[in-house]
Amino acid sequence: MARRLSLPLPLIALAIASFGIGTTEFVIMGLLPDVARDLGVDIPAAGLLVTGYALGVTFGAPVLAISTARLERRTALLLLIGIFILGNLLCAIAPDYALLMAARVVTAFCHGAFFGLGAVVAAQVVAPEKRAQAIAIMFSGLTLANVLGVPFGTALGQALGWRATFWAVVVIGVVAAAGLWAWLPRGLRIGSAGFLGELRSLGRTQVLLAMAISVLASASLFSVFTYIVPMLQDVTGIAPGRVTIVLLLLGVGLTIGNLIGGRLGDWRLMPAVIGLFAAVMAVLGTFTIGVHAVVPAVICVILWGAVAFALVSPLQMRVVNEARGAPNLASTLNQGAFNLGNAIGAWAGGVAITHGLPYAQIPWIGVGLAAAGMGLAAVSHRLDRMPLLPEDPARAI
C-alpha cells in the first residue's frame, strides 16, 4: 500500500468534506431568525437546534466509530459522508421543527466519527514526517467553513430561504463523496485489537492526558470566542456591522494557525504544544489591555485565533500516536473532547460574566485554562522522556 502521494488528492477530498461539515454545523446560527419564523417557534427553541447537533456529535460519534471499526476505511468514510448527505437532505425538506431537529441530530452523528477517522486516514496516506500537516490540511476545510461557508451560507439562506442553504450543503457533500470515492486508496484498514483491546488502549495514561489537554485547549478558546462579539462592541467600540469584518479576519487567523500547527506538530510535537499554550497565554494577556482600542484589539484577535487553532492538529496527532491499538476510536473521542471543551469554556465565561467580571477581563479565563493545558502538556512530555517500564501497560506499546 503506497503511503507517499505525488498529489494530496485524498487530503483535498477530506478537506472538502470537512468544509461541508463545518458549514452545516455553524451556519444554523446565522439562520436562526429565518428558521424560527418559518417553522413558527421562538428563537430559544430554534437555538436548541445547535444544542441538538452538539449532543449528536458527543453521543453519536463513539457509536458510529465502534460500528464502523471493522470496515475498510474508504468504505467507512463513504458511509459517513452518505449519512451527512442524507441528514442535510432531510434538513432541507423538513416540514416542521421536530423533524428538523431529528435531521440535525442525524447529520451530527457523522461529524465526530468523520473527523476522527479522517484524521487517521490523512496521517496514513502521507509520509510519516508529514502526518500532522496532513491532518491540518483536512482541518483547513473546517476553518474555511467559518471564513467562507458560514457567511455565504447565511447570505444564501437570507436571500432564497434557509432551506436553500441546506440544499447547497447537500451539493458540497456529493462533491466530497465523489472525491473520496475517486481519490482515497483502497484497502486502508484499521489495525483493531478488538473492542476490549481498544478500551485498554484508550485507558493509557498518555491517551487520557492528550484528551484532557484537548479539552483545556478548546475550553480556553471558547471561553473568549463565545463572548468576542460583545467584547468588541461594548469594550472596543466597534460598530456591529464592522464586527463581522473582524470575525472574518479571525477566521483567516484560524486558517493560517491551523497550517502552522501542522508544521510544528511534524517538527517537535509536544514542545510545539507547550510553546503554543504559552503563546495563547501571552496573546490573551495582551488582549486584556489591547481590547480598549480598535487596532490593538484586531491584531490580538488575529494572533489569538492563529495560535489557539494551531493546537488542534498537533493534539489530534498526539492522540493518534498514543492510541495505536485504537486510533479510529481514540481520534473520534478526541473530537468529543474538543466539543466538551467548547461547552466548558462557554460555561466558564458565562458564569464569570454573571458574577460581575467585566468583558475586558474575560481573556484571563482563557489564560488560566491555557496554563492548565500547558501544565498537563509538560507532564505528558516528561513522561515521554522517562525510561519505558515493561510492566506499565500505559506505556509499553
Binned average pLDDT, 10 residues per bin, the chain of 397 residues: 56 94 84 86 78 79 78 90 96 94 90 86 84 86 84 86 95 96 80 57 83 93 84 88 82 89 88 96 96 95 94 88 75 80 83 88 96 96 73 41
Q: Are the beta carbons of 179 and 15 closer than 8 angstroms?
A: no
pLDDT at residue 372 in the model: 97
For the chain, what is the domain count? 2
- Round to whole Å and give the CA distance between 135 and 220: 21
The parent domain of residue 205 ranges over 197-384
Same domain, 179 and 213: no
Same domain, 221 and 367: yes
Same domain, 349 and 273: yes
Q: What is the CATH number of the domain that holds 317?
A: 1.20.1250.20
Give phi and psi for 270, each to the nearest 5.
-70, -40
Choose among 152, 155, 32, 153: nearest CA to 100. Answer: 32
User: Kindly report the CA angle at 311 between 7 and 120, in degrees rounded to 5?
Assistant: 45
- Round to whole Å and give the CA distance between 216 and 229: 22
pLDDT at residue 395 in the model: 44
Q: Which of 190, 208, 242 is the last residue of a domain?
A: 190
Residue 101 lies in a domain: yes
Residue 202 lies in a domain: yes
DSSP label of 326: S
pLDDT at residue 55 in the model: 77
Cell of residue 123, nine digits: 496521517
Same domain, 182 and 282: no
- Round to whole Å and give the CA distance between 357 and 293: 19
Same domain, 213 and 343: yes
Same domain, 31 and 141: yes
Same domain, 30 and 132: yes
Same domain, 119 and 209: no
pLDDT at residue 325 in the model: 67
- Round to whole Å and give the CA distance between 267 and 250: 25
Q: Which of 141, 166, 190 is the last residue of a domain?
A: 190
- Round to whole Å and give the CA distance between 314 and 327: 15
pLDDT at residue 1 in the model: 40
